[in-house]
Amino acid sequence: MAHQNAALDSVFHALADPTRRAVIQRLGRGSATISELAQPFEMALPSFMKHIGVLERSRLIVSKKTGRVRTCLLNRDRLIAAERWFGKQHALWGSRYSNLDGLLAKLNGVENEG
Amino acid sequence: MAHQNAALDSVFHALADPTRRAVIQRLGRGSATISELAQPFEMALPSFMKHIGVLERSRLIVSKKTGRVRTCLLNRDRLIAAERWFGKQHALWGSRYSNLDGLLAKLNGVENEG
């Protein structure tokens, strides 16, 4: 459980950045070298590599160096594991809530009763 | 797009912590007061309130004070919007990847060819 929590911490942390999400999205189309991944971003390479490091530590991506070229791959299973957390929440909700507006109306009702 | 990115940044950041995920999970069962939410955690109230603040700023939860009691509600729609990001990735993948093991085998093959 603690292990699973740490995994979710690192995956959600990695996803909390638009550059990193764009890298994930790009790698969904197939493997890419660091140069290819960095190309769309107006960012110094050391800054970009920090993002790659966060993604690798979260195990959302893996990379492999061949000669002087580092190629990155998406670890799709890791992303699916994080997505599963949302599914678990749905299962807990059941049909309890329909929407926030309904909830707020209910809360206002409770307040008016009190 | 920038707005949507900022929303995802704050939601994923909020989810990157086990206490905050536990609060989300608890609120999935229904609204709760701050005292009820804090009860399972061995944490000083100011520290717990920081987590509540992060969740509120991400708009994953909303809270309302009635007298001296603050009640929190889950903003289910916000969680669903974040979940949708995963769905978009699936759509991009198509049937390109089956699993990481396959990818690594492929990458090793590429290396052996080079």
- pLDDT tens digits for range A54-104: 999 999 999 999 999 999 999 999 999 999 999 999 888 875 555 555 566
Residue A32: beta bridge partners?
A: A72
Q: Which of A15-19, B15-19, B74-78 has the lowest mean pLDDT?
A: B74-78
Q: What is the pLDDT of residue B114?
A: 35
| Interface pTM, i.e. ipTM | 0.82
Choose the closest CB to B99 out of A31, A77, A85. Answer: A77
Cβ <8 Å between A9 and B31: no
Q: What is the pLDDT of residue A91?
A: 84
* d(C-alpha B85, C-alpha A68), whole Å: 33
Residues with Cβ within 8 Å of residue A104, at least 6 apart in sequence: B62, B64, B73
Cβ atoms of B80 and B42 within 8 Å: the answer is no
Cβ atoms of A71 and B106 within 8 Å: the answer is no
pLDDT tens for B74-100 read: 999 999 999 999 999 988 887 555 555
Residues of chain A in contact with residue B13, where contact means CB-CB under 8 angstroms, are 12-13, 16
Query: pTM for this structure?
Result: 0.82
Residue B37 confidence (pLDDT) above 90: yes
* d(C-alpha A16, C-alpha A12), whole Å: 6
> Angle, to 10 degrees, between the axis of helix A2-15 and the axis of helix A45-57?
150
Q: What is the pLDDT of residue B96?
A: 54
Q: Which domains does chain B have, with CATH numbers?
A: 2-113 (1.10.10.10)
Residues of chain A in contact with residue B24, where contact means CB-CB under 8 angstroms, are 89
Cβ <8 Å between B83 and A79: no
Choose the closest CB to B79 out of A15, A86, A111. Answer: A86
